[in-house]
Chains A and B, each alone.
Chain A
Amino acid sequence: MIGLLRAVRKLVLGETVVLPAGIAAAVAGAGVLRAVAGAGGWWEHAGGAVLAGLLVIALAVALRPRR
């Protein structure tokens, strides 16, 4: 049963919590920027690139080598 629970946790969160936490932070940050930019502002055209940039940072942090 414990093995199954571990497998379910791995299925949902993956092998490291750093990545899902990074994705959550990136999406939350993008949400804040969208709210600040307001409707019809720069966000509508450039928001995709901003989100992609935040996600790249999340992946880079999750890939930091172990010391």
Chain B
Amino acid sequence: MAFVLTLLGAALACGLELLEAVAIVLAVALTRRPRDALLGAFAAVVACAVLGAALGPVLVANVALAPLRLVVGVALLLFGLEWLRKGVLRLAGRRARSSSFREFVEEQEALEAIALPAAGRPDWAGRVIAFKGVLLEGVEVILIVTALAARPGGLTPALAGAGAAAVATVGLGFLLHRPLRRLPETELKYVVGLVLTSFGTFFTAEGLDVHWPLGDAALLVLAGGWLIISQLMALRLAASPGEPEPARS
């Protein structure tokens, strides 16, 4: 059970974050020069790989199991509940639906205002924008996957899910950008929020010496509980007066 949920959580979180990174790199490549966009993106991937290679072993080697569960749990709660909060706001119509394609178009429009350097000179603006976009999304992926992998038995499903999602998202993003417009990103991000929040609740409680009555199966109960509660929150929010949040990713 934990294996499947870890695989699902890592794959969805990684795939959706990378979809946003691919949208930024594509916008830079199509508006400016593909070579500079890819150089910026490659530098960010290297930086993320170094961070991931350093963070995982340090966490596992230097932190005892109970505090590690607490650290991992709180980290997952920080990400998961934020994704869930945004998901509830989107489902309640209080926030624009998530769309990497809209980000792609907005990024393209912003980039068109920056003049390209002469041919043969490096386009630092394009490189920096691609680097920053991939780095910020990549760091979130590294933190989530590291947190999911840090649990005993979590390494294989977390890496397998993240790896498969990375290959699929980057490949499909570049080859088949238009079909990706039809992805229900809002609903998928909401599911990631549910999965990460369930894991976060589970690990944080274990770190505080709780013994879950059903073992790993308690994860399913937690996911069901968070699903019902967040849906009720979305319904209540949709029915109450208040200002919508400004459109953000």
Task: Give the A-B contact count at a CB cut-off of 8 A.
Answer: 98
- Within the complex, what minimum Cβ distance (angstroms) separates A32 from chain B? 10
Overall SS of chain B's interface: helix
A63 lies within 8 A of B243 (CB): no
- A residues contacting B by CB (< 8 A) are 3-4, 7-8, 11-16, 19-20, 23, 27, 30-31, 34, 39, 43-45, 47-48, 51-52, 55-56, 58-60, 62-63, 65-67
In the complex, chain B residues whose CB is within 8 Å of the CB of A58: 81
User: How many residues in B have their beta carbons less than 8 Å from beta carbons of A?
Assistant: 40
In the complex, chain A residues whose CB is within 8 Å of the CB of B240: 65
A63 lies within 8 A of B233 (CB): yes
Bound-state CA distance A59–B236 (Å) is: 13
A19 lies within 8 A of B237 (CB): no
Q: Is B229 positioned at the interface, with any CB of A under 8 Å from its CB? A: yes
Query: A12, A48, A56 — which one has the most chain B CB atoms within 10 A of its CB?
Result: A48
A31 lies within 8 A of B208 (CB): yes
Question: Hey, what's the 0/1 contact readout for B184-218 against A, CB within 8 Å counting as 1?
Answer: 00000000000001000110110011111100001
- A34-B209, A48-B210 known; A63+B85 contact, CB < 8 A: yes
In the complex, chain A residues whose CB is within 8 Å of the CB of B222: 52
